[in-house]
Structure 1
Amino acid sequence: MEQESENFEAYAQWLFCQPCDFIAGAAQLDRIPEALLPEVAFAGRSNVGKSSLINALTNRKTLAKTSKTPGRTQQLNFFKLGESVVLVDMPGYGYAEVSKAQQKSWHHVLTSYLKGRVNLRRCFILVDSRHGLKASDLEMMKLLDNAAVVYQIVLTKCDKVTASEFELQKETISQALKKHTASFPEILATSSETKEGLLELKCAIAALGEDG
């Protein structure tokens, strides 16, 4: 079993060394590319560190554009990783200065995408370790419950909190997940700065690609 685990970790590392190319950006439903490979999506509040995490996973600096301006990602961005899986960078949510019309438009596209994407294997909801679940995270979780899309919490910026603070957040979130039908129980902890938890996330994504 240990050898199998090591072999799969090596495969996951290899997978994330493969070419990772931008294939489409979709702010409208008709721009969403054909579903040919398993997909995993990344969601999270604006400035949760989503783009930084995607860049760290793929060992690139500018694959997903990072910005100190909340709400920068305004479409579904699709990246093909090797020939195995597609990574989907979803618009950040929870930023009040985005117009109501834009919020409504994004919500329609996201809802339609989530409910109709048969090859979407999992949505990773990124949550800042310093702040825990916010109302907008709970809204996204409810949306995914209704769409019957499995989602998993990934705590970001774990290097910014103490071990006791992290454990408290993790326990609080674990209890909250018990109330949500589509949630995956295991919580992952990551840091784009220190690379903590990246291998575990890579393995999770690689396994979902294999399932496809």
Structure 2
Amino acid sequence: MPGYGYAAASKQKIASWTDLMRDFLRGRASLLRVFVLVDGRHGLKPVDAEMMDLLDRSAMSYQIVLTKRDEVKVAELDKRVEETLKAIEKRPAAFPQVIFTSSQSFAGIPDVRAGIARLMAERGF
């Protein structure tokens, strides 16, 4: 769900969105993987953990894609990826690879595309 961590809405409205997402994920055999976009400047936040909990409970494969790579100091890039990998290592539905992307330089975008292409090829699409 785009912007789930940045919604200026009531708790009741956000709860209804959570129900909507849960219903959407239930029984979606054609959905191969969810890509969870996380602001790379800050890393995983509690709201991201809530999303991962929902995906784990739904047995929906997901992969973390860190964004805004160009806004993170070079010395912190590997650290941010390692922190994220550690946070997802025991999550049952998490794909054990993190991609760090930049919309400015397009870094990581070929990796996301390649991952999607691999998934589709594996499933015969």
TM-score by length of 1: 0.55
Question: What letter corresponds to residue 30 of structure 2 in structure 1?
Answer: N
- Tell whether 2:28 aligns with 1:117: yes
Q: Bigger radius of gyration, 1 or 2?
A: 1
* Structure with the higher fraction of residues in helix conformation: 2
Contact 2:81/2:100 (8 A) holds in 1:
no
- Tell whether 2:107 aligns with 1:208: no
Q: Give the corresponding residue for 1:187.
A: 98
For residues 112-145 of structure 1, the C-alpha deviation after alignment (integer angstroms, 9 at most, x for no partner) is 1112211110011111111000000001011100
CA–CA distance in 1 between the matches of 2:81 and 2:6?
24
Structure 2: 5+ residue stretches without partners: none
- Tell whether 2:42 aligns with 1:131: yes
* Structure with the higher fraction of residues in strand conformation: 1
CA–CA distance in 2 between the matches of 1:158 and 1:104?
31
Q: Give the corresponding residue for 1:168.
A: 79
Structure 1: 5+ residue stretches without partners: 1-89
Contact 2:40/2:67 (8 A) holds in 1:
yes
Q: Give the corresponding residue for 1:178.
A: 89
Q: Secondary structure at the match of 1:144?
A: helix
RMSD: 1.3
Any runs of at least 4 consecutive aligned residues in structure 1 with deviations exceeding 4 A, and if so which? none
TM-score by length of 2: 0.91
For residues 7-57 of structure 1, the C-alpha deviation after alignment (integer angstroms, 9 at most, x for no partner) is xxxxxxxxxxxxxxxxxxxxxxxxxxxxxxxxxxxxxxxxxxxxxxxxxxx
CA–CA distance in 1 between the matches of 2:7 and 2:62?
24
Aligned length: 123
CA drift of 1:158 comes to: 0.4
CA–CA distance in 2 between the matches of 1:96 and 1:159?
24
Contact 2:33/2:61 (8 A) holds in 1:
yes
CA–CA distance in 2 between the matches of 1:200 and 1:139?
26
CA drift of 1:94 comes to: 2.3
The percent identity for this pair of structures is: 46
CA–CA distance in 2 between the matches of 1:91 and 1:201?
17
